[in-house]
Amino acid sequence: MRLSPNDTQGRLEVLADGTWGAVCEGGLSEAAAGVACRQMGLGSAGRAYSGGSETADLPRLPVLVTKLACTGSEPTLQDCAVTLDSSSCSNFEELQCGPPSTQSSQPAGAQM
């Protein structure tokens, strides 16, 4: 798992069967965002959002995960319920990790 274009904010990318792909827009709950940030060593404060301008120039990836349902207590995203049917998904989810104080403002260019 990684964030692109930088280490704390951007498109959430997952590796499955040797292929990097994205999580479907709307498929990452706030609890799952916290699990992802914690798993990457970025603390437990995470916020999912859609349409950030910082990822507009990134290469297009296939959407590999439609939904991640977590309670927030899981140690990794692999411990969450995962939906893999991405046939109805056309955009990807983005994630911001950081201390709680940075979570109150929406990133530039993001749409809610």
Residue 61 forms part of a structural domain: yes
Please, which residues bridge with residue 11 across strands?
A: 4, 94
State the Cα–Cα distance between residues 47 and 27, nearest whole angstrom: 12
75: left (phi over 0), alpha (psi -120 to 50) or beta: alpha
Is 59 part of any domain? yes
Q: Is 55 among the domain residues?
A: yes
pLDDT value, residue 112: 30
Please state the pTM of the whole predicted model: 0.77
**pLDDT of the residue at 84:** 80
Is residue 66, in this structure, part of any structural domain at all?
yes
Mean pLDDT in runs of 10 for the chain (112 residues)?
87 88 85 91 81 69 87 93 76 77 42 33
**CATH number of the domain that 73 lies in?**
3.10.250.10
What pLDDT, on the 0 to 100 scale, is given for residue 51? 62
Count up the domains in the chain and report the number: 1
**What range does the domain containing 89 cover?**
2-101
